[in-house]
Amino acid sequence: MGLLPQIAQDLLPDAWAHAQDDAIAQGGVMIAAYALGVVVGAPTIAVFAARLPRRTILLGLTVAFTIGTIASALAPTFALVVMFRFIAALPHGAYFGIAALVAARLMGPGKRGQGVALVLSGLTIANVVGVPLITALGQNAGWRAAYLVVAAIFAAAVVAIRLTVPIQPGDPEATPRRELGAFRRPAVWLALLTGSIGFAGFFAVYSYVAPLTTEVTGLPAAIVPWALVTLGVGMTVGNIIGGWAADRGVLRALFLSFGVFALMLVGLALTAQHPAGLFGFLFGVGVAASALSPTIQTRLMDVAGDSQTLAAAVNHSALNIGNALGAFLGGAVIAAGWGYLAPTWLGLVLCAPGILIAATGAWITSRPVRGAAGAVTA
């Protein structure tokens, strides 16, 4: 995301020469392609992998990450890069979903939210350290060099998983039919929609941090990595808070996170012209949005019944639908000429349906269920 201007200039030279805003908006298709790969891959892999040993699955998925990222770095055209980003994303949701199950089991009863947050902290810490460093590298050595470094990190992760992750068996009772049974539960669909809509608002902002920093605040491109660090620190803090809060009341944590998220978006939209406003509210946006992630993951595990592997994986499908939707809509409002603040206001607009969907899911699961004999049960 931080390298969109460099990628657009390299792979879309004609569009860049004609209108840089349009070229950057077109470059956002790469983000959407990766996100859609997660959406497709997560349920497909999870359904058939639930019975397999979990460390074995994690190793295979990380190898696939490595190969897909190398292919992305070496692809000569924009269309091929988009295709390889889609392919590289296929293991993403299943990887993080299964890793979350491993961590939740290791943490023990009553600490599922914290186990999920522990795994997701890899993503948030990456936003503090990896994303800014890779952005700086890409700005100086080219975006392809940045992708190759990412591939090297994936390769190191293969070794780390093999050496340190304990062996855990899969679920011998799992079948594709049982896992897919989660989709018969309305509460599961509503939890997924909550994540999609909520994170669409976040990614509408996150996808265009680079032009927000340079064009709205008026800071040099060298400051973009620091803006991403600020957002990443906020995400790390929010992820820890979200995991802790989810273990003490999932729905309360969910609604509180949405409320704070809306306030932070308003603050960012009103003050982004000033460096203090940009950095302060980027931090706040990161905190609130990231607190949603372990909360929604835990909520899905609560309502999915026996379909735990699928529920853990499709959460990442939902979040990446939000990623794709946010990047697309954010690019659309920029291309429409509404400016680089427009994605922030768009994020605020998307909070309203996110809260409404979450409330509907809470209402459904709070209703008493009538048993077969006509008795009302909890």
Summarised one tens digit per residue, pLDDT across range 95-150 is: 988 888 888 788 877 777 778 788 888 877 887 788 778 888 998 999 999 999 99
d(CA 102, CA 115): 8
Q: What H or E segment, with its residue span, contains residue 53?
A: none
Amino acid, res. 331: G
Q: What is the pLDDT of residues 267-315, one digit of tens each?
A: 999 999 999 999 999 999 999 998 988 888 888 878 877 777 777 778 7
Residue 161 CA to residue 296 CA, distance in Å, equals 26
Give CA separation, 118 vs 38, 89, 121, in Å. Answer: 20, 21, 5
How many CB atoms are closer than 10 A to CB 214?
A: 18
Q: Does domain 4-364 have CATH number 3.40.190.10?
A: no
Listed by start position, the domains of the chain span 4-364
The lowest-confidence range among 34-43, 171-180, 294-303, 350-359 is 171-180
Q: What is the pLDDT of residues 214-249, one digit of tens each?
A: 999 999 988 988 898 899 889 889 988 988 888 888
Q: How many CB atoms lie within 10 A of CB 341?
A: 20
Q: What is the pLDDT of residue 36?
A: 82
Q: What is the pTM of this model?
A: 0.72
Please say whether the beta carbons of 100 and 117 come within 8 A.
no
Residues 14-60 have pLDDT tens digits of 888 888 878 887 888 888 788 788 888 888 888 887 778 888 999 99
Q: Rounded distance, CA 104 to CA 304, Å?
A: 15
Contact status, residue 154 vs residue 73, Cβ threshold 8 Å: no
pLDDT for res 68: 93
Q: Go through 119-131 and write b for each residue having 16 or more CB atoms within 10 A of its CB, e for each that does not.
A: bbbebbbbbbebb
